[in-house]
């Protein structure tokens, strides 16, 4: 589903693809992206022994994609956009992937910022807040599909988003998103978007204005 969406936006070249962590719902679509687009770099966090993950690394190498391991403290800048990696702290190899291994990225463009926390859960959120990096963001991709395992009060208070997106399949078997988390976001004054109700969610910014559009409700 991702490739046709990107083609529809006229995209053929991708500077960076980030695999937050090696769970199937996060890596399953990456082979198609590596095969169908010109990708410069694949960013990963912790290595795991998963065959599916190792196959992606092999495919990236075969297609000349540079594999970059990222961890907390790394900063980067591309044109007018800058960013920082807030998590994971440790990228040593493990047997199996965990939600708390997720790569967490904060992006800044002019006056606007976005926070992309993958599937991190309470322990990682607590440690990130304790480390006290800049966390405020206009837009938040809600961690772990809106599960109750994430979006602690302290983390949400530190981010203070105006908009949030929850990625969850319609009628999914996990019950995502949690009604408790949705209500917490709304009570904090956050405008909440959901892929199960709104379809694909697109966020664009020129560094001044920030616009959120959805596939099923095109008006921003």
User: What is the side-by-side order of every strand in the sheet holding 163-166?
Assistant: 75-78, 81-87, 104-109, 112-116, 139-141, 163-166, 191-194
With a CB cutoff of 8 Å and minimum separation 6, the contacts of 67 are: 41, 42, 44, 57, 60, 61
pLDDT at 218: 63
Cα 111 from Cα 205, distance rounded (Å): 9
pLDDT at 94: 85
The correct answer on CATH 3.40.30.10 for the domain covering 71-220 is no
Confidence of residue 15 (pLDDT cuts 50, 70, 90): very high
pLDDT at 51: 94
At 178, is the secondary structure helix, strand, or coil? coil
* Secondary structure element (H or E) that encloses residue 69, with its range: strand 66-69
Domain boundaries in the chain?
1-69, 71-220
The pLDDT of 110-135, averaged and rounded, is: 97
With a CB cutoff of 8 Å and minimum separation 6, the contacts of 43 are: 16, 17, 18, 19, 68, 69, 70, 103
Angle made by CA atoms 220, 105, 208, in degrees to the nearest 5: 40
Percentage of the chain modeled with pLDDT above 90: 88
Look up the pTM and report it.
Answer: 0.94
Residue with token string 């908009």:
163
Whether the predicted pLDDT of 67 surpasses 90: yes
What's the token pair of residue 124? Answer: 């990682």
Whether the predicted pLDDT of 212 surpasses 90: yes
Q: How many residues are given for the chain?
A: 220
Whether the predicted pLDDT of 124 surpasses 80: yes
DSSP conformation class of 48:
B
Percentage of the chain modeled with pLDDT above 70: 99
| H-state helical runs in the chain | 2-8, 24-27, 30-36, 51-62, 122-131, 153-159, 179-187, 195-198
Residue with token string 């099923």:
216
């Amino acid at each position: 589903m991702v490739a046709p969406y990107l083609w529809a936006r006229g995209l053929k070249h991708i500077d960076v693809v980030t695999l937050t962590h090696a769970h199937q719902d996060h890596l399953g679509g990456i082979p198609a992206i590596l095969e169908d687009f010109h990708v410069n770099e694949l960013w990963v966090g912790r290595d795991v022994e998963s065959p599916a993950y190792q196959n992606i690394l092999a495919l990236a190498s075969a297609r000349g994609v540079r594999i970059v391991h990222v961890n907390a403290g790394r900063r980067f800048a591309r044109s007018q956009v800058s960013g920082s990696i807030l998590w994971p702290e440790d990228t040593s190899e493990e047997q199996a992937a965990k939600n708390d291994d997720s790569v967490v990225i904060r992006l800044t463009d002019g006056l606007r910022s976005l926070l992309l926390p993958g599937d991190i859960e309470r322990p990682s959120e607590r440690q990130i807040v304790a480390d006290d990096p800049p966390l405020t963001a206009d837009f938040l991709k809600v961690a772990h599909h809106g599960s109750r395992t994430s979006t602690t009060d302290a983390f949400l208070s530190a981010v203070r988003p105006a908009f949030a997106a929850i990625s969850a399949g319609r009628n999914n078997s996990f019950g995502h998103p949690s009604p408790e988390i949705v209500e917490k976001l709304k009570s904090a004054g956050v405008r909440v978007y959901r892929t199960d109700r709104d379809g694909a969610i697109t966020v664009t910014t020129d560094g001044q204005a920030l616009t959120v559009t959805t596939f099923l409700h095109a008006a921003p």
